[in-house]
A and B are shown apart, each in its own frame.
Chain A
Amino acid sequence: MPQMNMIQALNSAMDIMLGRDPNVVVLGEDVGYFGGVFRVTDGLQRKYGEHRVLDTPIAEGAIVGAAIGMGVNGLRPVAEVQFADYIYPACDQIFSELARLRYRSAGEFWAPVTIRTPCGGGIRGGQTHSQSPEGIFTHVCGIKVVMPSNPYDAKGLLIASIEDDDPVVFFEPKRIYNGPFDGDPNKPAVPWSTHPKGEVPDGYYTVPIGKAEVVRKGAQVTIVTYGTMVYVCEAAARSLGLDAEIIDVRTMVPLDVDTICTSVKKTGRCLIAHEATRFSGFGAELSATIQEECFWDLEAPIQRVAGWDTPYPHAFEWEYFPGPQRVAGGLKAVMETP
């Protein structure tokens, strides 16, 4: 099986969809001739031409607005927002338009737009290249929200997102573009070729939207997480010798409540971890749902580990990042309670 990192896997997904469906177009800042600042669209313009892979002006609102218009007129646009930190100028088009078009037109107008955007910290990017705003998008009705944690899922989920007739905001945790990261910046980088999920089929396949994955089976505690934090949580549980069941949410909207709650009912304990700020973060939704569904099975209060409620500070990157130590602290708390 071919080895791919996440960048190559995402590139392959778009390559396949551009090849299969003449209505698929890719657009965004620097995505065409250059192939994207993270090289995710590398080579696509050369292969499919300037009318299928478009460089755009620096105007996120116009990128999404135009993608909606293209979608209404029969195309299937894949828009890139260069960093999730720069998605805000597009928010009116996403929140007020893209998310509600189908609803307000009684199903007559809709736009199958996928918005890809790199998110997350740990790359010394400071407060405007490190954000994880996924929670904000989950609060808007009518858009699907996806975040893969490995190359295999990245490709399968991106193909599924492009094929989906609903709008999808697709977050790419850029810290793990090149390899899994367990939260220790002092360790040498690990490439995806060392990881089973770095094996990615060359051809077409999908990973279904709306399905979480149990990435590790365990009995003592359920860890519900996604993105980079999957690997941080694995490392934290390992450091404590805990038999944790780790669930990669993969799709925040729609949420796979079943997989999550089946696990929590089994273990009776739950820790939720994400890199995004804690207050009103997606962990709050997870916690509330799990509490509603699993209250009588819980042995201890649900724990949340998240980024602090401050902007992402450049100099304190590793104090800010919810690393294995902070996750271990949360795990101890959830295990210690009688």
Chain B
Amino acid sequence: MPRRSRLHIPQHHSRPGEEPDFSYLETSPAGAVGRPDVNARVRDIGHLAVELVRVLDDDHGAAGPWHPHLDPPELQVGLRHMLLTRIFDDRMQRAQRTGKISFYMRSFGEEAVSVAQCMALRPRDMLFPSYRNQGLYVVRGKPLVELMCQLLSNTRDMCKGRQLPVMYHWKDGRIFSISGNLTTQFPQAVGWAMAAAIKGEDDIAVSWIGEGSSAEADFHHAMLFASVYQAPVILNVVNNQWAISTFQGFAGGEQRSFAARGPGYGMAGVRVDGNDFLAVYAVTQWAAERARTGAGPTLIEHVTYRGAAHSTSDDPSRYRPKDDYEKWPLGDPVERLKNHLISLGEWSEERHAALVKELEEHVLESWKEAVQYGTLTDGPRLSRDLMWEDVFKEMPEHLRKQREQLRAEQGG
């Protein structure tokens, strides 16, 4: 029989009503992957793109050459940031359900990515996030009230009512404006990094996209520019296995890891357990030093899981098993760091419960303050005149006229 070409359709392993099956996931034991010198040549470190860097083991210990040996207080801060991110997310999800905000996206299950990475970077490093990196704001200390005001599109909204909830920005905190158009930030981060190199500064740029977004041409453009100019940039692909209803096989993860695209473009690629706070921290530290010392860019793939719905508009029970997150082989990032701290004798269930309570109160207090500045449905509102500002630096005549027309139409 002659062989024929065939159209391959990536198959997910478990659908609603089925037992979650993660047998496709290839992992490495904690501590098993070597840590090369930060100046290592790309051709010599191909293993990093295939294996899975892990530090935390199943018994809550930490092992191997990637162990970052952080002090317990620093680990406690990391735990706090992850928990705060999670509690904030939960509360905002509920606010959306009650109609106070129009839309929300949680980062449940992947908090370690933003939190550990941001802690491993310097405050002057420039961040180009996706919509699922709220942990960056928590680590850099943005008051929650200010994030909430953006979600509420109220009188203190940093975006002046122009953006959908979660599309924050923070110039002083060096976090770039979030776009609804996927992957656009990737080449922009590379350009920022090229500018830093042109100016001779040692700040680096860091960007994040989801694995689904790595399909866009902008991903490839970013990789190529980063590699050609050896830009001081860290490009992160957060492989949370899902892009709305479509699993990572449809973004090309079935045949090869996302990290392996790094070496494909001539840059370092590292595949890391994204739910392992210590591993994410260590890998980021390695990549940041590499970038800062002129040894080139790094692509990091974080293997993690989107524990929640894509957004408040999504219903994952239509396309994946209900209890899949509990069965995810890499566990939960908060639980893993918590248990590690407990095993070190530096944490306890009591302290944990007290921290949760403290953070819940903090979120609640922040919310009470934020709604005083207005919500989508009631309270004070932004001036509608703001609609015409910032389209251009100076308002052209035709916009001035339209502003007058609306004033006449609505009075005031």
Interface, chain A (partner B; CB < 8 A)? 29-30, 33-35, 37, 50-51, 54-62, 85-86, 88-89, 124-129, 278-279, 308-311, 313-316, 319-320, 325-326, 329
B217 touches A127 (CB 8 A): no
Pick from B28-36, B158-166, B195-203 the stretch touching chain A.
B158-166
Q: List 15 A-B contacts (CB under 8 A).
A: A29-B244, A35-B318, A55-B250, A57-B215, A57-B250, A57-B252, A59-B217, A62-B217, A89-B217, A124-B102, A127-B162, A127-B164, A308-B388, A313-B387, A319-B406
Distance between A57 CB and nearest chain B CB, rounded to angstroms: 3
User: B245, A33: Cβ atoms under 8 Å?
Assistant: yes
- Does B157 have its Cβ within 8 Å of any Cβ on chain A? yes
Residues of A within 8 A of B384 (CB): 316, 319
Residues of B within 8 A of A310 (CB): 387-388, 391, 399
Knowing A34-B245, A314-B161 touch, does A86 contact B406 (C-beta < 8 A)? no
Against A, the Cβ 8 Å flags (1 = close, 0 = not) of B94-106 are: 0000000011000
Expressed in whole angstroms, the minimum distance between the Cβ of A333 and any Cβ of chain B is 11
Instruction: Sort A-B residue pairs by CB-CB distance and give the 9 closest, nearest first.
Output: A315-B161, A128-B180, A126-B164, A57-B215, A34-B245, A315-B153, A59-B215, A124-B102, A50-B9
Q: Select B246's contact among A55, A60, A129, beta carbons within 8 Å.
A: A55
Chain B residues within an 8 Å CB radius of A55: 9, 246, 250
- Extra contacts, 15 of them, besides A58-B182, A309-B391 (Cβ < 8 A), are A33-B15, A34-B246, A54-B9, A58-B215, A59-B215, A128-B180, A279-B398, A308-B402, A310-B391, A313-B162, A314-B161, A315-B153, A315-B382, A316-B161, A320-B387
The secondary structure that dominates the B interface is loop
Nearest CB in chain A: distance from B349 CB, A: 40
Q: Tell me the bound Cα distance from A311 to B159 in angstroms.
A: 13
* Contact residues in A for B160 (Cβ distance below 8 Å): 315
- Look across to chain A and name the residue whose beta carbon is closest to the beta carbon of B383: A316
A328 nearest in chain B by CB position? B409
Q: Does B212 contact A (CB under 8 A)?
A: yes
The closest CB in chain A to the CB of B217 belongs to A61
Does the CB pair B212–A58 fall under 8 Å? yes
A124 cross-chain contacts in B, Cβ below 8 A: 102-103
A59 vs B251: C-alpha distance when bound (angstroms): 9
Complex interface: chain A residues within 8 A of B318 (CB): 34-35
Q: Within 8 Å CB of A58, what residues of B?
A: 182, 212-213, 215-216, 243, 246, 251
Of all chain A residues, which has the CB nearest B179? A128
Cβ–Cβ < 8 Å partners of B218 in chain A: 89
Cβ of B63 < 8 Å from any Cβ of A? no
* Chain A interface mostly: loop
Bound CA–CA A29/B319 (angstroms) = 14
Q: What 1/0 flags go to B173-195 for Cβ under 8 Å of A? A: 00000011110000000000000
| Chain B residue total in the interface (Cβ 8 A) | 51
Question: Which residues of B from 131 to 165 have beta carbons under 8 Å from A?
Answer: 153, 157, 159-165
Note all chain A residues with C-beta closer than 8 A to B213.
58
- The answer to whether A59 and B216 touch across the interface, beta carbons within 8 angstroms, is yes
User: Which residues of A are found within 8 Å of B15, using beta-carbon distances?
Assistant: 33
Assembled-state Cα–Cα distance A61/B251 (Å): 14
Task: For the complex, give the distance between the alpha carbons of A232 and B402 in Å.
Answer: 20
**Bound CA–CA A126/B399 (angstroms):** 20
Q: Scoring B residues 379 to 397 as 1 if CB is less than 8 Å from chain A, else 0, what string do you get? A: 0011010111001000000
The reply to whether B387 and A316 form a contact with Cβ atoms under 8 Å apart is yes
- Write the chain A residue with the least CB distance to B155: A315
A308 to B387, CA, bound (A): 9
Q: Are A309 and B250 in contact (CB under 8 A)?
A: no
User: At the interface, yes or no: B356 with Cβ under 8 Å from chain A?
Assistant: no
- Among A56, A313, A329, the most chain B Cβ lie within 10 Å of the Cβ of A313
> B410 an interface residue at 8 Å Cβ cutoff?
yes
List of B residues within 8 angstroms of A279 by Cβ: 398
Q: Give min CB distance, A284 to chain B, whole Å.
A: 13
Find residues 361-412 in chain B having any chain A CB closer than 8 Å to their own CB: 376, 381-382, 384, 386-388, 391, 398-399, 402, 406, 409-410
The residues of A that contact B319 with a CB separation of less than 8 Å are: 33-34
Report if A51-B409 is in contact (Cβ < 8 Å); known contacts: A58-B251, A310-B399, A315-B376. no
B390's nearest neighbour on chain A, judged by CB, is: A310
Q: In the bound complex, how far is the Cα of B406 from the Cα of A279, in angstroms?
A: 16
Contact B244 A315 (CB under 8 A): no
B387 engages A319 (CB within 8 Å): yes
Q: Establish whether residues B410 and A319, one from each chain, have CB atoms under 8 Å apart when the complex forms.
A: yes
In the complex the two chains form, is B398's CB within 8 Å of A62's CB? no
Chain B residue at smallest Cβ distance from A57: B215
Q: Give the CA-CA distance A33 to B9 in the complex, in Å.
A: 12
Instruction: With CB as the reference atom, state the residue of chain A lying closest to B406.
Output: A319
Given contacts A57-B251, A308-B388, contact A315 B162 (CB under 8 A): yes
Partner of B391, one of A29, A30, A311: A311
Q: Which residues of B are found within 8 Å of A278, using beta-carbon distances?
A: 402
Query: CB-defined interface of B245-260 with A at 8 Å, one 1/0 digit per residue?
Result: 1100011100000000
Q: How far is the CB of B7 from chain A (nearest CB, A)?
A: 6
Contact A85 B163 (CB under 8 A): no
B223 at interface (Cβ–Cβ under 8 A)? no
**B55 at interface (Cβ–Cβ under 8 A)?**
no
Question: Are the C-beta atoms of A314 and B250 separated by less than 8 Å?
Answer: no
